[in-house]
Homo-oligomer: A and B are copies of this chain.
Amino acid sequence: MSRPKPLSGFPEFLPGPRMVEQFVLDRLRETFELHGFASIETRAVEPVETLTKGGEIDKEVYTVRRIHADDGVPDELGLHYDLTVPFARYVLENAGQLQFPFRRYQIQKVWRGERPQEGRYREFTQADIDIVGSGELAAHHDVEIPLVALDAMERLHTDLGLPPVLMRVNNRRLAQGFYTGLEIGDTAAVLRIVDKLDKVGPDRVSELLVSEASLTEAQAKSCVSLATISSADETFVDEVRRLGVHTDELEAGMEQLAELVRTAGRYAPGRLVADLKIARGLDYYTGTVYETELQGYESLGSVASGGRYDALASDGRTTYPGVGFSVGVTRILAPLLGKQRLTVTRPVPTCVLVAVDAEETRAAAVAVASQLRQRGIPTEVAPKADKFGKQIRYADRRSIPYVWFGAGANDEVKDIRSGDQVGADPASWQPPSEDLRPRVVENWDE
């Protein structure tokens, strides 16, 4: 086999960057579990008919079939393109055995057969959280979910050095109530056009609202005014009121959004703004909607988003409302790792290399390594009996910080960074805790 080439759209990491990814996934899992979310995994495949019901994404489904399937037999399975469709199916399938409200997180790969381009992948990892109720789900979960997401993203920032986030939040009820107050009928059309505000600007949105959604000039002006409101505190409420529209739905939506802004101000100050232009492409959101940018990486677009859907799933008798959030892990990491903004202190777990000076003493080296591992110290034994200098070089090339010499006879351990070498007992020696595991290093200065 000659040297294979990477497949476009299918990112793979070298061991160092993969370690950063592991740390990120560990941190996400830890945070989700601290908030009481249980893990599930769903199979990679769903019936194609389930996957293609959704609308636009169906063009990107990868179908799957056995290589010796008869020609002419249609593909019946496809790879999931998100974690929401399989989760909805899982809830229906297992409803009798789940406790509602059911809180789950799910960290898995998803696949989309789209044209690969900057920031788009054909295989990528998502980390989703959702709370789903049976029949009903209280509105306070709309406040809870983005705070869990912010807690997770903040840990990635403070613990691992990822950029801080800015979450932009809106509420579909607010917009819906406002439009109804203006006596606009086709609110979905308005949402779709308002969603283009950043791309085409307020004047063009106004024009489109008139020409495509049949709004009056005055209605269009009000809609644009609403969409340009944004505040990091509750002042957005007064700004909306000044537009002179009043409906119960609008009030309810504003109160929900204000509650979220207030709570976020307490637990995640500076990380969340009410931004009334946020619409999200997907039609099934019915309450709060969220988007999240990485500060300094706004061009990546939203790297984490979600919202409230009143019908995540339904089996005809019972409807399961949900509120959730999805973090695009690959979308966040691939650019940061590609530019080496985040690296690790070493691309191997190994903290100690036990040197072997002659093959006859390998057993003694293996015994020392075993003792160190029993106390949680990642250790490997030198692959080759060799001279002092070569053993050091082996460790150095992998950034392994310690080399153990004289195993079982004259035990000494050398910190190859400082050159310090001291006598050590394999039954009790402990490295400084910051050396025990590889750590993530930020490189923002280059």
Contact = CB atoms under 8 A, between A and B. Distances in A.
Interface of A: 1-7, 10-15, 18-19, 22, 33-45, 48, 50, 52, 58-68, 75, 77-79, 88-90, 92-95, 97-99, 101, 103-104, 109, 111, 113, 123, 138, 140-141, 144, 151, 263, 267, 313-316, 347-350, 359, 362-363, 366, 370, 373, 376-381, 383-384, 397-398
A35 B3 contact: no
Contacts of A78: 67
A98 B65 CA distance: 35
Contact of A67 (B6, B58, B92, B140): B58
Stoichiometry, as copies per complex, reads: 2
A64 B43 contact: no
A175 to B, nearest CB: 25
B44 A2 contact: no
B349 A44 contact: no
A38 B61 contact: no
Q: Which 3 A-B pairs have the closest CB atoms?
A: A36-B380, A66-B113, A33-B349
Contacts of A11: 43
Contacts of A350: 36
B1 A90 contact: no
A379 B58 contact: no
Contacts of A366: 263
B64 A60 contact: no
18 contacts: A1-B89, A1-B92, A3-B92, A4-B92, A7-B45, A12-B43, A13-B40, A19-B38, A43-B123, A45-B123, A52-B67, A58-B67, A59-B68, A61-B66, A62-B65, A62-B67, A64-B64, A65-B113
A384 B337 CA distance: 43
Contacts of A42: 12
Nearest to A7: B43
A64 to B, nearest CB: 5
Nearest to A9: B43
